[in-house]
Structure 1
Amino acid sequence: MSLLDLYKDDRELSEDEESEDEFVPDQASDGDASQQGAHASAANTTGTESHSAAKVLTLESMNPNIREMEYAVRGAIPIRAEKLKEQLKTHPGSLPFKQITPCNIGNPQQLEQKPLTFLRQVSALMEYTDLLSPQMIDTTRKLFPEDAIERARRNLAYVGNAVGAYTHSLGIFEVRQDIARFIEERDGFPSNADNICLTSGASGAVERVIDMLVSSPDVGIMIPIPQYPLYTATLAHVNAQAVPYYLQEDNDWQLSIGDLEHSLAEARAKGTDVRALVVINPGNPTGGCLLESNIAEIVRFCQRHRLVIMADEVYQTNIYTGTNPFVSFKKVVAQLGSDVELFSFHSISKGMVGECGRRGGYYEAVNIDDKVMGQLLKLASVSLCPNVQGQMAVGIMVNPPRPGDISYAQYHAEIESIYESMKRRAKKLAKAFNSLPNMSCNDAQGAMYLFPRVELPQAFVEEAKAKGQQPDSLYCMQMLEATGISVVPGSGFGQYPGTFHFRSTFLPPENLFDDFIDGFKRFHLGLIARYSPKI
Structure 2
Amino acid sequence: MGIKALDHESLNENVKKVQYAVRGELYLRASELQKEGKKIIFTNVGNPHALGQKPLTFPRQVVALCQAPFLLDDPNVGLLFPADAIARAKHYLSLTSGGLGAYSDSRGLPGIRKEVAEFIERRDGYPSDPELIFLTDGASKGVMQILNCIIRGEGDGVLVPVPQYPLYSATISLFGGSLVPYYLEETANWGLDVNDLRQAVAQARFKGITVLMDMGPPISKEVQLVSFHTVSKGYWGECGQRGGYFEMTNIPPQTVDEIYKISSISLSPNVPAQIFMGLMVNPLKPGDISYEQYVRESKGILDSLRRRAWIMTDGFNSCKNVVCNFTEGAMYSFPQIRLPPKAVEAAKKAGKVPDVFYCLKLLEATGISTVPGSGFGQKEGVFHLRTTILPAEEDMPEIMSSFKKFNDEFMEQYEDNWSHSRM
TM-score range, shorter chain: over 0.9
Q: Aligned ranges for residues 343-358 of structure 1 at < 5 Å?
A: 343-358=226-241
**CA distance, structure 1, for counterparts of residue 301 and residue 411 of structure 2:** 35
Query: Once the 2 structures are TM-superposed, how far is the Cα of residue 497 of structure 1 from its aligned partner?
Result: 0.8
- The residue type equivalent to 2:116 in the other structure is I
- The residue type equivalent to 2:161 in the other structure is P
CA contact (8 A) 2:157 2:210 kept: yes
Query: Once the 2 structures are TM-superposed, how far is the Cα of residue 157 of structure 1 from its aligned partner?
Result: 1.0
Query: Once the 2 structures are TM-superposed, how far is the Cα of residue 254 of structure 1 from its aligned partner?
Result: 1.4
* CA distance 1:160–1:191, shift in 2 (3 Å): same
TM-score normalised according to structure 1 size: 0.76
SS in 2 for 1:504: strand
**CA distance, structure 1, for counterparts of residue 26 and residue 177 of structure 2:** 27
Q: Aligned ranges for residues 20-99 of structure 1 at < 5 Å?
A: 52=1, 55-88=4-37, 95=38, 99=39
**CA distance, structure 1, for counterparts of residue 94 and residue 344 of structure 2:** 61
**CA distance, structure 2, for counterparts of residue 306 and residue 425 of structure 1:** 48
Q: What is the percent sequence identity of the aligned residues?
A: 44
SS in 1 for 2:158: strand
What's the counterpart of residue 251 of structure 1?
188
**CA distance, structure 2, for counterparts of residue 517 and residue 307 of structure 1:** 52
CA contact (8 A) 1:303 1:339 kept: no
* CA distance 1:510–1:195, shift in 2 (3 Å): same
Query: Once the 2 structures are TM-superposed, how far is the Cα of residue 189 of structure 1 from its aligned partner?
Result: 1.2
Query: Once the 2 structures are TM-superposed, how far is the Cα of residue 86 of structure 1 from its aligned partner?
Result: 1.3
- Equivalenced residues, count: 418
2:381 to 498, 505, 511: 498
Query: Once the 2 structures are TM-superposed, how far is the Cα of residue 417 of structure 1 from its aligned partner?
Result: 0.3
Q: Aligned ranges for residues 44-443 of structure 1 at < 5 Å?
A: 52=1, 55-88=4-37, 95=38, 99-133=39-73, 136=74, 138-275=75-212, 339-443=222-326
> Residues 93-151 of structure 1, C-alpha deviation per residue, up to 9 Å, x if partnerless?
xx5xxx21111010000000000100110111111111011xx1x21110100010011
**CA distance, structure 2, for counterparts of residue 196 and residue 357 of structure 1:** 22
What's the counterpart of residue 358 of structure 2?
475
Query: Once the 2 structures are TM-superposed, how far is the Cα of residue 56 of structure 1 from its aligned partner?
Result: 3.5
CA contact (8 A) 1:274 1:307 kept: no
> Residues 178-231 of structure 1, C-alpha deviation per residue, up to 9 Å, x if partnerless?
111111111111111111000010000101111111123211111111100111
* CA distance 1:257–1:305, shift in 2 (3 Å): farther
2:401 to 518, 527, 535: 518
TM-score normalised according to structure 2 size: 0.95
**CA distance, structure 2, for counterparts of residue 224 and residue 307 of structure 1:** 25
> Residues 359-380 of structure 1, C-alpha deviation per residue, up to 9 Å, x if partnerless?
0100010011111111111111
SS in 2 for 1:514: helix
- The residue type equivalent to 1:273 in the other structure is T
**CA distance, structure 2, for counterparts of residue 105 and residue 115 of structure 1:** 18
SS in 1 for 2:245: strand
**CA distance, structure 2, for counterparts of residue 265 and residue 305 of structure 1:** 17
**CA distance, structure 2, for counterparts of residue 58 and residue 303 of structure 1:** 40
**CA distance, structure 1, for counterparts of residue 317 and residue 250 of structure 2:** 44
**CA distance, structure 2, for counterparts of residue 351 and residue 475 of structure 1:** 29
**CA distance, structure 2, for counterparts of residue 55 and residue 303 of structure 1:** 42
What's the counterpart of residue 421 of structure 2?
none
> Residues 330-357 of structure 1, C-alpha deviation per residue, up to 9 Å, x if partnerless?
xxxxxxxx93100001000002100001
**CA distance, structure 1, for counterparts of residue 143 and residue 218 of structure 2:** 16
Task: Flag structure 1 segments of 5+ consecutive residues without an equivalent.
Answer: 1-51, 89-94, 276-301, 310-337
Higher helix share: 2
Task: Flag structure 2 segments of 5+ consecutive residues without an equivalent.
Answer: 419-423
SS in 1 for 2:374: helix
* CA distance 1:212–1:118, shift in 2 (3 Å): same
CA contact (8 A) 1:306 1:340 kept: no
CA contact (8 A) 2:4 2:10 kept: no
**CA distance, structure 2, for counterparts of residue 409 and residue 110 of structure 1:** 26
**CA distance, structure 2, for counterparts of residue 490 and residue 352 of structure 1:** 25
**CA distance, structure 1, for counterparts of residue 110 and residue 378 of structure 2:** 41
> Residues 257-293 of structure 1, C-alpha deviation per residue, up to 9 Å, x if partnerless?
1111111111112211224xxxxxxxxxxxxxxxxxx
> Residues 300-358 of structure 1, C-alpha deviation per residue, up to 9 Å, x if partnerless?
xx79998989xxxxxxxxxxxxxxxxxxxxxxxxxxxx931000010000021000011
SS in 1 for 2:315: helix
* CA distance 1:63–1:394, shift in 2 (3 Å): same
CA contact (8 A) 1:223 1:244 kept: yes
2:331 to 408, 432, 448: 448
- The residue type equivalent to 1:78 in the other structure is Y
Question: Which aligned runs of 4 or more in structure 1 are off by greater than 3 angstroms?
Answer: 52-56, 302-309
CA contact (8 A) 1:202 1:361 kept: yes
* CA distance 1:502–1:308, shift in 2 (3 Å): farther
- The residue type equivalent to 1:218 in the other structure is G
**CA distance, structure 2, for counterparts of residue 449 and residue 378 of structure 1:** 36
